[in-house]
Structure 1
Amino acid sequence: MWPRSDGLRTLELGTPGELRTRLTNLVLAGQKTATAGLLALDYEAEGEEVEHVGEHLILLNDAGDRAAELEIARVDLVLFANVPWDFAQAEGEGYTSIENWREVHRDYWSSQGFDIDDTTIIVCLRFHLIDTP
């Protein structure tokens, strides 16, 4: 189960350290308005339901402190092979193509011990920055 803050579910991007700090800063700068997760790993294994439109989440920074409040604007469950380019661009991480997005994400999840294929279900979240502390 995910931690809660002020009664809201929390969101931590990437892995602790440099990656989490970079991704959190992209959100705070307004460049990152989307993130991807794995249905099996990030939700089913954690006993969590997928977010819903209008839900508010607390974005945590690398120290585990509140960095911002986000509102979910859109949720799509998509096969890895079908993640669209506009979603990859909304992640704000400078991907050069959808193939580049797939390669980076496949490598990331593999490094976390979870191999994916074209039929793996990806949870594509789009969000708005509501406020920062």
Structure 2
Amino acid sequence: MGPVTTEASRSQPALTSRSALQSLRGRIPVGEYAFPGPVRDGLVAAILNGEKTATTSLLVEYQRDGQDPHDLLGSYELVVDSDEQPVCVTRTTEVRVVALSEVDLQHCIDEGEGYRTIAEWERAHRLFWESEELRAELNDPTWRLTDRTPVVMQRFELVDPHEVRL
């Protein structure tokens, strides 16, 4: 298959050949946005077209895996689509851990999902973070989200897979 080309690839160096992306499999962590399906596909499209430059996750997900989210700074991710196929590489440029109630509007906007207010962003994220699917993923059917729940605010940029230095 030929190069992955989108409008963003003309201005962003991140989208090149599938073989370059495939060569990074197993060498850098995989970035999975939401669960496979329409939500993930929309998030990946927003990354590819440059609208999505930030994401938010729950600190408890990192704690479950014995990770410190601050270790992400400068790291690469191989972003995959719903078919688990690599589509681009991102590099983390900023990591902040804050309470859910402290997420700022600019971060919400930079998530590239069309949020115009913090309330819109929070409603959408609550739907996902309070879902049975996420509770199952956390292996905790009683898990509850509160305004004080720590979240990981992450900013990233697209990078050319040929420029990944391990």
What is the TM-score normalised by the length of structure 1? 0.89
Taking the TM superposition and a 5 Å limit, the aligned residue runs for 1:12-31 are 12-31=32-51
Quick one: distance in 2 between partners of 1:52 and 1:20?
Answer: 21
One-letter amino acid of the counterpart of residue 66, structure 2: G
Moved over 4 A (4+): none
Q: CA RMSD in A?
A: 1.8
Quick one: distance in 2 between partners of 1:125 and 1:115?
Answer: 22
Taking the TM superposition and a 5 Å limit, the aligned residue runs for 1:9-88 are 9-40=29-60, 42-50=61-69, 51-88=71-108
Cα deviation 1:46-72 (Å, max 9, x = unaligned): 233314321111111111111111010
Which of residues 130, 151, 154 in structure 2 aligns to 1:110?
130
- Unaligned runs of 5+ residues in structure 2 are 1-23, 136-142
Contact 1:106 1:115 in 2 (8 A): no
Contact 1:60 1:66 in 2 (8 A): yes
How many Å apart are 1:96 and its aligned residue?
A: 2.1
Matched, 1:127 2:156: yes
Larger radius of gyration: 2
Quick one: distance in 1 between partners of 2:161 and 2:119?
Answer: 33
Quick one: distance in 1 between partners of 2:62 and 2:25?
Answer: 18
What residue is the counterpart of 2:9 in the other structure?
Answer: none
Q: Report the identity percentage.
A: 29
1:89 is paired with a residue whose SS is helix
How many Å apart are 1:132 and its aligned residue?
A: 6.4
How many Å apart are 1:15 and its aligned residue?
A: 1.3
How many Å apart are 1:93 and its aligned residue?
A: 0.1
- Unaligned runs of 5+ residues in structure 1 are none
One-letter amino acid of the counterpart of residue 127, structure 1: F
**Relative to total residues, which structure has the larger strand share, 1 or 2?**
1
What is the TM-score normalised by the length of structure 2? 0.72
One-letter amino acid of the counterpart of residue 154, structure 2: L
Quick one: distance in 2 between partners of 1:132 and 1:117?
Answer: 38
What residue is the counterpart of 2:121 in the other structure?
Answer: 101
Quick one: distance in 1 between partners of 2:147 and 2:46?
Answer: 27
The more displaced of 68-77 and 54-63 is 54-63
